[in-house]
Amino acid sequence: MVRVTHWITALCFLTLLLSGVEILISHPRFYWGEAGNVLEPPLFTLPIPASRGIVKTGYKFVLPDQNGWSRSMHFQSAWLVVFAGAVYLLGGLASGHFRRNLIPGKRDLSWHALSAVLSKHLRFQRGDDRASYNTLQKLSYAVVVFVLFPLVIWTGLAMSPAVVSAFPATVTTLGGQQSARTIHFFVSIALVIFFAVHVAMVWLAGFGSRMRAMITGRAAVQEQLAQQEQL
C-alpha cells in the first residue's frame, strides 16, 4: 500500500509541478483576499514573463499560452492524488504504519536522541539503520503527510468555483480565493524543496538499493545479511 501510493503520488506530483508552472506563467502575480486582476495592486510579482499580453511583467514578449491543457492535466492529477492520499491514510491507520513509522515517540524527541541523529545524519547508515526512519525523517515525513499535502489540496479546492459554491467555508476560512492561491504557491514551493532534498538523500544513501526496496519491497541481499549479523 505504501509503495503503490508513493509511486502514484510521485508521478502525479511531477505532473502537477509541470502543469502548475504552465498555469502560473499565465498570471505570475499574487494577491491577498478575494479579488485579483491586472487592475489590482499585487502582493508580489514573480520576475518572469507571462503567457498573456494583458499581464504586464516588464518583458517585451509573451510565452506560448498553455493554460488549456495544463489546467485539465492539473485537475485530473490532483484528484488522483486525493484518491491515493485517501487510500494511504486509511491503510496507514488500519495497519499501524503511522504509529510505527511516522509519529515520533517521546524517546525520539528527547535531546539525547535528537543529538545522536544530528551527529550522524550525513553518514547515510547501512544495515538495519536503513530499515527504519530516524527522528528527523519521521518529523519531515509527518509534516509532509499531515500538514503540507492536506494544505495544498485544501487550497487547491478553495480555488474551484464548483467546490466553493457547495462548501463556501473552504475559501472564506482562508480569506478569499486569491489568499488560497498565494498559500497554495508557498506550500507547493515547500513540497518542491522536500522533493529535491528527498531525492538527494536517497541518491547519497544508496540509490540502487533504495529504489529496489521501494519498487519490490525487498531489501538488497547485503542489507539482509547485515541485519542477520546484527541479530
H helices of 25-134, where? Answer: 67-95, 97, 111-120
**220: containing domain:** 97-231
Successive 10-residue mean pLDDT values, the chain, 231 residues: 91 95 94 90 94 88 91 94 94 86 70 60 49 74 92 93 91 94 97 93 81 75 51 52
Please check whether residue 65 lies inside any domain of the structure.
no
Does residue 13 lie within any of the structural domains?
Answer: no
Is 49 part of any domain? no
The set of residues, in sequence order, having a beta carbon less than 8 Å from that of 191 and lying 6+ positions away, is 13, 144, 148, 149, 152
**CA neighbours within 13 Å on the CB side: how many for 104?**
19
DSSP string, 184-205: HHHHHHHHHHHHHHHHHHHHHH
Q: How many domains does the chain have?
A: 1
Q: What are phi and psi of 119, to 5 degrees?
A: -75, -20
Residue 176 DSSP label: S
The reply to whether 86 falls in a domain is no
Task: Tell which residue, 196, 192, 153, 176, has the closest CA to residue 21.
Answer: 192
Distance, in Å, from the CA atom of 199 to the CA atom of 210, rounded to the nearest integer, reads 11
* Helical residues (DSSP H) of the chain, grouped into ranges: 2-24, 67-95, 97, 111-120, 135-143, 149-157, 161-166, 169-172, 177-216, 221-230
Which pLDDT score is estimated for 135? 75
Residues 218, 211: Cα–Cα separation, whole Å: 10
Classify residue 48: in a domain, yes or no: no
Residue 16 falls inside a structural domain: no
- Does residue 54 lie in a domain region? no
The answer to whether position 112 is within a domain reads yes
Calculate the alpha carbon distances from 150 to 54, 133, 220 in Å. Answer: 33, 22, 34
